Amino acid sequence: MDVLDFRSYFTPDKQVIYSLLLILLCSTVDSTLRYSIREELPKGSVVSNIANDLGLDTRLLSEGRARIVCEGTQQYFQVNTKTGVLLVNERIDREGICEETAKCLLYFQLVIENPLQQYRVEVEILDVNDNSPSFPQREFVISVVEQAVPGTTFPLERAQDLDVGVNAVQNYMISQNDHFRLDIPNLKDQNKRPEIVLVKQLDYEKTHTIRLQLTAVDGGEPPRTGTAAVQINVIDINDNAPVFNQSVYKVKLFEQNAKNFVAVKVTATDLDDGPNGDIIYAFSHISDAMGRIFKLNNKTGEITVAEPLDFEDRNIYQMEVQVKDGGGLIAYSKVVIEIVDVNDNAPEIILTSVRSPLPEDSSPQTVVALLNVKDLDSGGNGNIRCTVGTHQPFRLMSSFKNFYRLVTDGHLDREKVSEYNITVTAVDDGSPPLSSTAVIHVRISDINDNPPVFSKTLYTMQVSENNKPGALIGSIMATDKDSAENAQVSYSLIEEMVKGFPISHFISINSDKGNIHAVRPFDYEQFQNFTFLVQALDSGTPALSSNTTVKLYIIDRNDNAPTLLHPSPKDSSFSAEIVPNNAEGGYLVSKVVAVDADSGQNAWLSFHLQKVSDQSLFSVGLHTGEIRTIRKMTERDNTRHTLIVVVKDNGQPSLSATATVKIVAAENFSGHYLESTDKEQVGEFDSNLTIYLIISLAVVTFLFLAFIVLLLTLKAYRIKRSVFSSVPDQNVPSSNIVSFRTSYLDSLARGTIHQGYLREVQAKVESLSGGSKHLDPNKGTIYAGNEHPMLIDINNANEFLQDHQPAANAIPPSHSSYQRVQAILTRPMSTDWQEG
Ligand SMILES: *[C@@H]1O[C@H](CO)[C@@H](O)[C@H](O)[C@H]1NC(C)=O
Ligand SMILES: *[C@@H]1O[C@H](CO)[C@@H](O)[C@H](O)[C@H]1NC(C)=O
């Protein structure tokens, strides 16, 4: 039996011993040598003395050319044939040969050629802890959401150790940390991996990453380790809502700020990262109106004012702002914007009503306008004082705050001021104060308070007689200070009787223009002037009027030739003047009497001797018409003479009449000589004439008295009637007497003229007037009763006389052939007269 002594070669190792025992057991059975050696022995290391182990002579080995035949290509062993020692030929890596096989055996044969014999040798390679554990990656990266719950496991990779047995990985460890522990799997189960287990919740906001070291430890002596890094990335989740830094943002803004200025900035923060921390601002629930005014920058949180702010519109704005992060979490805040008033509004004057036009007779305190004022500003900025100018008759009365009545403060007169611009000024109490004005235009309407006023109180007009009907005499004019129809003046004649006729019988007036026209031709010889009233009436209601007096003078024209009264042209052949044949020079033979109906120069008569039988005997007074003897008459002179006297007036052109005067010279005869009659007849004629004259005078006196009585009766009756009828009947004439006094008649009354004249004059006057005129020798007055009365205003009679005085003065009344006529105009006594 071969017993191998390993002790000298091997370190006392349990495995080796164990192997040797196996070899010993086996060699007895099949003579296989068994050895065990550690791996990684250096080359030349002695495994054993194989010769001794086999009990072979070393010579046999050397002579028999013993050699090792290995299985495989690698010659791990060799034998020293001289000594019989088995040596390691090259490094033996157990892991390289057997990998993870737990028992790694190498086989070879010792072959001896002479004699040929072979021995089988089995060498067990024992593991040495020459490999450290190693992880397949140097770093593991694990992502963990921060909200992962504790207990969540995260598997890692196993570490690899080429060594086997105890030299393989025996344990894992992880570096100290708060959040994870290591769960070591059952090492026998190759499918199990080490896991890290979350033991405490992660917070991304505190820790973004955790780095750990994972260590694998094998069981070698000393143990070897392998490490790998474990990076744990905490994944943020949106676990933080954004937060505003103020719950309420309060700002005060002055109104009228510039556009787009930043009113307030809201700020919110979100602890989350990335999209979860991306915050967006927005208004939540904002009215359209406010949305137009305020704009919110959704990134910066700035609220800008897009439109001017007006305190008066709104003085406080409240809005909610929300902020939202990427994860959808929302927070809210409140923004309160208070607007502070600035005196930016002038007071406003609102005219509620205006009374225009305003009647000029409005009493003081009449309300002209109602107005109210307002100011959109508040406080003192909105306190208003309201005034009107003091120079106008208006003032403001406040009924209650900010409401005013504009009332008249005095009497108005449209004729002085026809319209007012009343300026109302409203001032507020702001600083600086703002004011505004309103002009109230008030027209004053006319009231008919001014009567028309004539430009003269007395108009004097004149018209030449014989005017054409309708001729313009003159015009009057009245003005009225009122306006429109109150100033529209119409003219009319005031109805009254003039010379017994209604005034319209003589003149008419143009009611618009005030032109006065003659209705008919005037005759100066009928009347020289008259007065009438013209009324100007305006068209107001009630209408006002005023009167003016127009005095119309009719101007004489030389339209009447002188009329001979004596001797009458008709009966000249019949009568003759008788002159004593012994008459002295200067004897008044006769007087040519003529009248001229005209007046003034036109009636100024002159007498001229046109033809005379004896130039030396008679002369005629130029102005007196007296025919006188120039010298003493003698017997030799003719007893019969004929004189032709021309009577001329002084008009332009002058009119004339001729008188033929027959003169008979008689002896001691002072009476009137009648041609172709005998002396008796003449004497009878004279006495008859005297009787007639006396009778007629008596009759005339009686008639006159009767007439006066009748007149007084009528007048009394009329007054009574007018009292009852209450119709004023002015200017009732006292008579219709025409006083017709002539110098001639004067002389008659005084008896200076020969009686012979008187009869003739009476006859002449009768024939001249063509009607029944009666001569009153006492008064020298003619009473007229015909249809052509001498219409001379009684009131103007004296004036008339004065007007014509020069002519009368020029000639002594007792010798004048020029006639003074005093006429008394009276109203007609009978209705016939009025109609006539
Ligand atoms: C009032 O104002 C109006 C309009 O400006 C003007 O035509 C008128 O002349 C003024 N009247 C007075 C009296 O000032
Ligand atoms: C004008 O005269 C008429 C008639 O005489 C009279 O009725 C009227 O009152 C007068 N008017 C005035 C204003 O004097």
Residue written as token pair 């308070």: 449
Q: List pLDDT tens digits, range 84-108.
A: 888 888 888 888 888 777 788 888 8
Residue 831, pLDDT score: 34
Q: What is the mean pLDDT of residues 634-662?
A: 87
CA 443 / ligand 1 centre spacing (Å):
10
pLDDT higher for 309 or 364? 364
535 CB less than 6 Å from ligand 2? yes
For ligand 1, mutation pick of 419, 420, 440, 444 (most atoms within 8 Å of CB): 419
Tokens for 106, please give them.
Answer: 């190498």
C-beta 549 within 6 A of ligand 2: no
The predicted structure's pLDDT at residue 327: 83
pLDDT class for 17, splitting at 50, 70, 90? very low
Does residue 650's CB lie within 6 angstroms of at least one atom of ligand 2? no
Are the C-beta atoms of residues 301 and 308 closer than 8 Å to each other? no
294 and 264 Cβ atoms separated by less than 8 Å: no
Residue nearest to atom 1 of ligand 2 (CA): 547
What three-state secondary structure class fits 15? Answer: helix
What band does 686 get if pLDDT is binned at 50, 70 and 90? low
Ligand nearest to the CA of 478: 2
Structure tokens at 318: 């409240």
Global confidence as pTM: 0.45
Distance 78 CA to ligand 2 centre (A): 184
Which protein residue's CA is at the shortest distance from atom 11 of ligand 1? 421
Inter-residue contact 383 to 373 (CB < 8 Å): no
Please write the tens of the pLDDT for every residue from 749-759: 343 444 444 44
Mean pLDDT of the 410-414 span: 91
Q: Whose CA is nearest to atom 8 of ligand 1?
A: 421
Q: Tell whether ligand 1 has an atom less than 6 A from the beta carbon of residue 389.
A: no
Query: Mean pLDDT, to the nearest integer, of 663-679?
Result: 57
- Nearest CA-CA partner of 441 in 415, 417, 409: 417
Residue 223 Cα to chain centre, angstroms: 109
336-369 pLDDT tens trace: 999 888 888 889 999 999 998 999 999 999 999 9
CA of 392 to the centre of ligand 1 (A): 14
Distance CA 121, CA 101 (A): 20
Side by side, which strands form the sheet with 403-408?
348-354, 367-374, 403-408, 394-400
Ligand 2 contacts CB of residue 199 (under 6 A): no
Distances (CA, A) of 592 to 671, 746, 775: 17, 15, 20
> pLDDT of 695-735, one tens digit each?
888 888 888 898 888 988 888 888 776 554 443 334 433 33
Ligand closest in space to the Cα of 442: 1
Would the CB of 453 count as within 6 Å of ligand 2?
no
- Residue 232, C-beta contacts closer than 8 angstroms, at least 6 positions apart: 142, 143, 144, 154, 179, 180, 196, 209, 210, 211, 212
Q: Do the beta carbons of residue 459 and residue 551 sit within 8 Å?
A: yes
pLDDT band at 806 (very low <50, low <70, confident <90, very high): very low
Q: Could you tell me if 137 and 157 are in contact, meaning their C-beta atoms sit under 8 angstroms apart?
A: yes
Confidence of residue 63 (pLDDT cuts 50, 70, 90): confident
What SS3 state is found at 823? Answer: coil
Return the H-helix or E-strand segment holding 59: helix 58-63
Q: What is the pLDDT of residues 224-273, one digit of tens each?
A: 899 999 999 988 888 888 999 999 999 988 877 677 888 899 999 988 88
> Residue 340, SS3?
strand
Task: Please determine, for residue 544, whether its predicted confidence score (pLDDT) is greater than 90.
Answer: yes
CB of 443 shorter than 6 A to ligand 1: no
Ligand nearest to the CA of 549: 2
pLDDT at 66: 83
pLDDT value at residue 668: 63
Q: How many CB atoms lie within 10 A of CB 29?
A: 7
Ligand 2 binding pocket mutation candidate from 448, 493, 497, 535 (most atoms within 8 A of CB):
535
Q: How far is the CA of 488 from the centre of ligand 1 (A)?
A: 26
* Ligand 1 center–CA 672 separation, angstroms: 96
- Give the ligand with the smallest distance to the CA of 423: 1
Order across the sheet with 180-183: list the strands.
Answer: 153-155, 195-198, 180-183
Contacts of 672 (CB under 8 A, 6+ apart): 575, 577, 578, 682, 685, 686, 754, 755, 756
**Beta strand pairing call for 32-38 and 116-126:** parallel
CA 288 → CA 256, 284, 295, 305, 503, distances in Å? Answer: 20, 12, 11, 14, 90
CA distance 172 to 182: 8
The verdict on the CB of residue 181 being under 6 Å from ligand 1 is no
The SS3 assignment for 481 reads coil
**Ordered domains of the chain (ranges, CATH):** 12-126 (2.60.40.60), 139-235 (2.60.40.60), 243-340 (2.60.40.60), 348-445 (2.60.40.60), 453-555 (2.60.40.60), 563-673 (2.60.40.60), 703-835 (no CATH)
Q: What does the pLDDT average to over 491-513?
A: 91
